[in-house]
């Protein structure tokens, strides 16, 4: 007999267009959505704002299908664009979306998608909370960080914004049916503020692990000399990435002779810098379209992070690409990895010695290290496996 069982529909609601996904805040929902589509669900996305090119080209709102079984509707509404730019101008988190929808405002295209959805995921606490009009819907929030701590750590006006974010973050358990938390810290935070029947599910950052094994063409920003050693740091303009990128820039300036003598380049890729530049053996790319090219050709991931919350997408990407990792212990949080066994541990104070140790490590040892780390991490970094194990049971339980 033919199986006529209807596919369940999953809706993601985002502040900004997700596909193509290059930064950490986009990679997580993109990977989650891809994983759920591979599990056989009909996945739809609604994004309140578009990317810069869409506005420059004066595009009307549109739908596109980035992957089979997955579609994304991108709004180019002037109201959404204006509010998004206004909040960027005053350096505020994009909480405009939550404030706007809390008035009862729901765009027509989003209303249609909510009506058809069986399971709804709001990306971040900033996007849209469940309200009384949608009581019958199962609605989760995907938490990427403890956001008020992220705001507070930036100081200045952000300490004021942190108080507003804290208010809404405490309301999460009363605004949604559950939370998809990135780390144990978030699990604990939401437990302290949970209502009855509020579900907390630990969903680590996931990626399409197999795509990182594909050899890509080398980006033009890489040094021409094949014998050069390239240490890659990848990041968005998130404050913790900015802190690390600036540390690496200053480190490169202070150690430029040593870097040149050892033919070592430090390459900072991603929107952590708004403009691309090269000073000595330090290279910054600004925004890149395809992170895979960089993970495919770098010699090491360099991750001396000392700030932030949540686990780093860049680490999951390096593990999937079998790229040797040089990282602070803090930078490996959220991963089952042993310092100097699964990765080369580094410290900002001793970074020069740590880089020397990395380039002197035998290729066979590095290869064994990356193979073992990938094998033991796959269940916790592969988006399809994570979706099947962590999110599908929630949908099937409806």
The reported pLDDT for the residue numbered 258 is 96
Does the pLDDT value for residue 21 go beyond 70?
A: yes
The reported pLDDT for the residue numbered 327 is 95
- What H or E segment, with its residue span, contains residue 162? helix 157-170
CA 319 to chain centre: 15
pLDDT digit string (tens) for 81-97? Answer: 999 999 999 999 899 99
CA dihedral for 288, 290, 295, 296, sign (positive or negative): negative
Helix (H, G, I), strand (E, B) or coil at 371: helix
pLDDT digit string (tens) for 269-289? Answer: 988 898 899 999 999 998 887
Give the domains, in start order, of the chain with CATH numbers: 9-208+382-396 (3.40.50.2000), 210-381 (3.40.50.2000)
The reported pLDDT for the residue numbered 382 is 87
**Rounded Cα distance, 114 and 73, in Å:** 13
Does the pLDDT value for residue 309 go beyond 60?
A: no
Residue-averaged pLDDT of the chain: 88
The reported pLDDT for the residue numbered 380 is 84
Among 105-114, 243-252, 377-386, where is mean pLDDT lowest?
Answer: 377-386
Nearest Cα residue to 88 out of 101, 97, 75: 97
Confidence of residue 2 (pLDDT cuts 50, 70, 90): very low
For the chain, the C-alpha Rg in angstroms (whole number) is 21
Angle between helices 313-320 and 24-38 (to 10 degrees): 60
Confidence of residue 5 (pLDDT cuts 50, 70, 90): low
Helix (H, G, I), strand (E, B) or coil at 82: helix
Burial environment of residue 200 by CB neighbours within 10 A (0 to 12, 13 to 18, 19 or more): middle
pLDDT digit string (tens) for 112-128? Answer: 999 999 999 999 888 88
Prior bond of 321 cis (ω within 30°): no
Residues 6+ apart with CB under 8 A from 270: 22, 23, 234, 235, 236, 241, 285, 286, 287, 288, 291
Confidence of residue 26 (pLDDT cuts 50, 70, 90): confident
The reported pLDDT for the residue numbered 239 is 78
pLDDT digit string (tens) for 189-199? Answer: 888 766 767 88
**Rounded Cα distance, 346 and 335, in Å:** 16
The reported pLDDT for the residue numbered 146 is 81
Residues 6+ apart with CB under 8 A from 235: 24, 241, 242, 244, 245, 268, 269, 270, 271, 272, 314
Structural contact between residues 79 and 66, judged by C-beta atoms closer than 8 angstroms? no
Sheet bearing 9-16, strands edge to edge: 62-67, 70-74, 42-49, 9-16, 119-123, 138-142, 178-181, 199-202
Phi, psi for residue 377 in degrees, rounded to 5 = -100, -10
pLDDT digit string (tens) for 236-265? Answer: 877 788 899 999 999 999 999 999 999 999
Structural contact between residues 25 and 93, judged by C-beta atoms closer than 8 angstroms? no
Question: Beta strands of the chain (E only): which ranges?
Answer: 9-16, 42-49, 62-67, 70-74, 119-123, 138-142, 178-181, 199-202, 229-234, 264-269, 277-279, 282-284, 300-303, 325-327, 344-345
């Amino acid at each position: 007999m033919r199986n006529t069982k209807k596919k369940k529909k999953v809706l993601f609601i985002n502040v900004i267009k997700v596909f193509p996904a290059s930064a950490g805040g986009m990679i997580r929902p993109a990977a989650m959505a891809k994983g759920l589509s591979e599990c056989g669900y009909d996945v739809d996305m609604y994004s309140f704002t578009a990317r810069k090119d869409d506005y420059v080209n004066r595009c009307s709102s549109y739908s596109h299908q980035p992957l089979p079984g997955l579609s994304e509707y991108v709004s180019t509404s002037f109201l959404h664009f204006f509010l998004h730019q206004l909040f960027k101008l005053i350096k505020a988190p994009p909480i405009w979306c939550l404030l706007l929808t809390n008035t009862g405002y729901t765009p027509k295209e989003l209303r249609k998608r909510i009506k058809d959805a069986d399971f709804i995921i709001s990306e971040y606490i900033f996007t849209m909370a469940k309200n009384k009009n949608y009581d019958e819907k199962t609605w989760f929030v995907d938490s990427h960080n403890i956001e008020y701590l992220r705001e507070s750590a930036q100081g200045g006006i952000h300490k004021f914004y942190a108080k507003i974010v804290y208010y809404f973050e405490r309301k999460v358990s009363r605004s949604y049916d559950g939370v998809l938390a990135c780390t144990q810290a978030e699990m604990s935070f939401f437990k302290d503020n949970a209502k009855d029947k509020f579900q907390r599910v630990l969903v680590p950052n996931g990626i399409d692990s197999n795509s990182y094994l594909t050899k890509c063409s080398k980006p033009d920003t890489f040094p021409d000399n094949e014998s050069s050693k390239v240490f890659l740091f990848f990041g968005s303009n998130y404050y913790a990435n900015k802190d690390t990128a600036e540390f690496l820039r200053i480190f490169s300036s202070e150690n430029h002779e040593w870097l040149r003598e050892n033919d070592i380049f430090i390459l900072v890729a991603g929107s952590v810098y708004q403009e691309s530049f090269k000073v000595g053996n330090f290279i910054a790319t600004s925004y890149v379209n395809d992170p895979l090219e960089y993970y495919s050709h770098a010699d090491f991931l360099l991750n001396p992070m000392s700030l932030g919350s949540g686990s780093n997408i860049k680490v999951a990407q390096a593990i999937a690409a079998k790229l040797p990792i040089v990282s602070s212990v803090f930078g490996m949080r959220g991963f089952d990895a042993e310092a100097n066994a699964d990765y080369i541990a580094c410290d900002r104070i001793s970074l020069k010695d740590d880089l020397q140790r990395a380039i002197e490590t035998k290729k066979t040892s590095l290869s064994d290290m990356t193979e073992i780390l990938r094998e033991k991490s796959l269940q916790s970094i592969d988006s399809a496996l994570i979706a099947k194990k962590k999110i599908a049971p929630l949908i099937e339980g409806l």
